[in-house]
A and B are shown apart, each in its own frame.
Chain A
Amino acid sequence: EVQLVESGGGLVQPGRSLKLSCLASGFTFSNYGMNWIRQAPGKGLEWVASISSSSSYIYYADTVKGRFTISRDNAKNTLYLQMTSLRSEDTALYYCARQGPGYEDYWGQGVMVTVSS
């Protein structure tokens, strides 16, 4: 069974940093691209970043480019999102999702990030 478990969220002040993790199991992690997708409270889905299976290709939304860094450790079956210079508009539930060809087939339960003073 495919499982994606996010962690690392919490309450953080504006301008500070936070690192999210997503532990994958039930599939060969190193064979799949991965995404971070977020959802602000009461809002829709917003793609944040993608990373290919070997980390060769990385893409970011303009809203986070230069502030967030996606990475992965295939030996640890773990996806990361390093978030710096956090803003109130980054407050959201952050999902990691496995990437199929042009779609996201499995999603984690999400981890909440709240940016507030």
Chain B
Amino acid sequence: DVVMTQTPVSLSVSLGGQVSISCRSSQSLVHNNGNTYLSWYLQKPGQSPQLLIYKVSNRFSGISDRFSGSGSGTDFTLKISRVEPDDLGVYYCGQGTQYPLTFGSGTKLEIK
């Protein structure tokens, strides 16, 4: 199984600041078809997860350009710029390259 390791576990940021979350996979996430199926999700308090980024760097419909994803192979990063109050919650990375599908353990973002 592909193990997804997220760091940090939590972080605190001031409004307007920028943060980065790291996600590392135990195996390459490059699929046989050449695509890399690494996604980022945000679970706001009391809500279901929502898709932010898919295939490493593609923003999902309606997602602000303050969110950006990058990386390749086994190392990936989510950056959030100009942090807003609505950004708080738990961020998860997930891989869809192979079954079983797996997720990172989450990074809790708090606003200072």
Q: Which residue of B50, B51, B55, B102 is within 8 Å of A47 (Cβ)?
A: B102
Chain B residues near A104 (CB-CB < 8 A): 39, 41, 49, 51, 94, 96
Interface of B, secondary structure class, is loop
When the two chains form their complex, are residues A45 and B94 in contact, meaning their CB atoms are under 8 A apart? yes
7 closest Cβ contacts across the A-B interface? A102-B37, A102-B96, A47-B101, A103-B39, A107-B48, A103-B54, A45-B103
Considering the complex, which residues of chain A in the window 72-117 have a beta carbon less than 8 Å from any beta carbon of chain B?
A: 95, 100-110
Interface residues in chain B, defined as those with a beta carbon under 8 Å from any beta carbon in chain A? 31, 35, 37, 39, 41, 48-51, 54-55, 60, 92, 94-97, 99-106
A104 to B37, CA, bound (A): 11
Per-residue 0/1 for A42-67: is the Cβ within 8 Å of any B Cβ (1 yes, 0 no)? 00111100100000000101100000
Chain A: how many interface residues by the 8 Å CB criterion?
21
Knowing A47-B100, A59-B99, the reply to whether A103 touches B55 (Cβ < 8 A) is yes
